Each structure stands twice: as structure tokens, then as C-alpha cells.
Structure 1
């Protein structure tokens, strides 16, 4: 082997050594500090491998795509959050209350799982509106977020004026909400999720008749697959449809 070849191998080895000394500690440090960007999380980047390739439908009212109404509430950190804070993001809507003894725990466990699937993706969020704002103060919501290990910075648990929340639920999303002293926990509400695109429009896949399904069943886990009534879980559909909207 010539001296020239030897020098070439030595040079390459030297470059690799320098790269390792300079950059590997920085990469390790970023991992330790959870400073990984969306482009770094290759396994979490939305893809185009869909079992259902049909474009998501818009919910139309009088021929016009329905947008999320304006809202303004306070989150678990005491910060005012409006619908404008979600523009540019794909997000899931739910209505719940922290003392709910029935469906809310399952709903939020499902949403935590969904949120973990899109962890580190800055364009995904969740908006959870309490229907018992007199009890669910920002401090109470903060404890609830810690209990359920809610860490997504774009997941806001929101409280505020009771009538405004109920109007948003019943009129803005047609997700039934009511105070009912005879119901478990004192309230009745839908166990469904709504999905909103980056421009604030309510979106969903279509049913067998070509109509928007509008909502996603939030009270059955992927693991369970079906409930006692034979209804199928829709969390897997929700995850896939979030990916579609992130790719738009």
C-alpha cells in the first residue's frame, strides 16, 4: 500500500474522530434535555400510509363549511386561550369535568394516548373544556393535568363562563352538554371528540352513505375494540385522520 493511501485513511479516521468529539456530546445533551425537533422525531412524522385514503369531509351548514366559533377561556396555567391560538394547528375538542365518575377518565386516557402518538409535533393540540367551571378552576385543572400526565404544551384544559362553555358545546359543536342532578356526577355530556383542521374547520371522515360522521367515539379504547353495545372504537380512526390533516 502506498504512503499516499495511508495518509488518506489516516485523514478519514481523524475526521471521524473530530466529529465524534465535537458533535456526539451535543446530540446526547439534546436528548437529555428533550430538545428534539419535529424533524428529529422521524418515527413521529406523519406519513401517507392510510388504510382509508379518502380526503376528510367538511361539516357543512347551509352549504358552508362550519368553523369553530370564537372562544376565549383560561387554561390550567391561568393563561387566556382563544380559538386564534389554535390556528395553524390540527386539534381535538372534548367537553368533560374533573369529577366525572363515568366516561371522562376513559376519554382522557384515550386523548393522552393520541397525544403521545404525536408527541413533539408542534402543529398538534387538544382543547378540553370543563362543563363544571365553578369547581374546575385553573388550579384544579392543573392538578388534573398532572394526574393524567398531560405534557403536550398545546393541550389546554379550559375554564370560564358557564353559559359560554355550554353554548360552545351545544350550539358550536352540537356536542350535548347539560347539568343534571340525577346524572352521575351531576352532569350529562357527549363522549365524542371533534377534529379541527389548521384553518379552524370541523372535519371528519364519511360514513357508508357519503355523509360526514362529524365525531369520533371517545369512550372505547383501542385495546378494547368494542363496548358492551357492540360499538367499535374510533381512536385508531382519529389518529389516522389527524395525520391526514397534518399532511394537508
Structure 2
């Protein structure tokens, strides 16, 4: 019985060596050993001429801004821009996001090749008139900072399926809506871009609530503007 056990163990080791060892060696050669299989999907992030990663194309959108003008992703063609999802009556994270986005805006206020897209997830309340007042209240003065509203179903689809940034309606929480506190960074060609974390994996989105995330996105906007 012991001999059979040794034979079985040896067979398993042999199979492991034949199948997995070459893969491990390849990952070491390609400096890929820290990456998990979660990155091996369609649209795998790729390197570009800067050290930022390309995640994939940002979704198309066409919505109405605070001045009742139609703004789409084509309006930002050739520009670097940041996207966030919020709502004007948000009692929790939105004021922090607004304050931090204003810091981003102030850093690039005179650059016509930079813009910000703030999309409401409560369009029933956030009409162009409401959004214009909200922009004035928080001091949003960027020449390319648009606060957008439109059909709620389309907006939720842009967020949840297009950007994969969670938004949802929840009557059990203050404000009635919930959403992520992340900012998406888009390059001049309409691609979602980001830096890598300490393990070499793409962060995908930037933390809009912490100073570390704001510092990082400002640095990376500068890089993309120079491309």
C-alpha cells in the first residue's frame, strides 16, 4: 500500500512540474509574478508611453448640463477629464467629493485641455437649474466643469455597466441613494487610465475621499496632459 501511495504522490508532483512550473518561470521572466488571474480578462490593462495603465474605453454618454446644453463624451475629445457620480442633496460623502474635486479643478483651472464631468444619480431632483445653483454654491468655476443630468436609467447604466462604478437607490439610507466615492480618469483618446498600486496592479479608480487619492490623480492628470 505504501508503494502505491508513493507512486501516486510522485505522479501528482510530475503533473505539477509539467503544467505549472513553465508558467511560473514565464511569470518571473516577465516580471508578472505578483499579478493574479483576475487581470487575465478581456480588456486586460496595457502599458502606454507613460507609466499609467490603460484600462479600456470609457462609455459613451450624452446628457444635459447646468446651462441646459447637451454634453457628450465627444465634447471632451482631445481633453483629459475626470468623472464622478454624485447628487446635490447627498448628506454623506458628496460634500467631501465636491471639496476634493474643487481642489483638482483649481490645480488645472486655466488649462483648456482639462475638464470635469459630475453626473447626478438623482435627476428627478437635480434639474439643470438645481445643478447650476449647486455649482455656484460649491464654487465650481472650471471652464470645462459640467454638472450633468438626464434619464435615470441611462445614468445608472453609464455608472454601473459603463464605468463599473456602483450607484443605486436605497430608501433606507439618508438621502435615498448610494454610490462609490471614486473618480475615473480619462485620457485624450477616451481611455480610462490609472496608476499601479504597490504590488504592480492597476488601481482602476482614484479615491475621491482621501487626500492621497487627490494627490495621485493630480499627478496623473499632469502626465496625461503632457502625452
**Is the structural similarity TM-score above 0.5?**
yes
Contact preservation (8 Å) 2:50, 2:223: no
Look up the match of 2:52.
Answer: 56
2: CA distance between counterparts of 1:172 and 1:207? 23
Separation in structure 2 between the aligned mates of residue 54 and residue 118 of structure 1, nearest angstrom: 20
Counterpart position of 1:25: none
Aligned to 2:167: 177
Equivalent position SS for 1:234: helix
Equivalent residues in 2 for 1:59-138 (5 A)?
Answer: 59=55, 66-138=56-128
**Which of 234, 240, 247 is the matching residue for 2:213?**
234
Q: TM-score, normalised by structure 2?
A: 0.77
**What is the rounded CA distance, in whole Å, between the counterparts of 1:148 and 1:87 in structure 2?**
26
Partners of 1:197 and 1:187 in 2: CA distance: 29
- Alpha-carbon RMSD across the aligned residues, in angstroms, is 1.2
Determine the C-alpha separation between the residues in 2 that align with 1:77 and 1:216: 28
Moved over 3 A (4+): none
Deviation of 1:68 after TM superposition, in Å, equals: 1.3
- 1:183 CA drift (Å): 1.6
- Gaps in structure 1 of 5+ consecutive residues: 1-52, 60-65, 223-232
SS at match of 1:120: coil
Deviation at 1:54, TM superposition (A): 6.1
Aligned residues: 179
Alpha-carbon separation, structure 2, partners of 1:234 and 1:80: 30
Contact residue 86 and residue 179 of structure 2 kept, 8 A = yes
2:83 is paired with a residue whose SS is strand
Q: Tell me, in whole angstroms, the C-alpha distance in 2 between the residues paired with 1:242 and 1:70.
A: 21
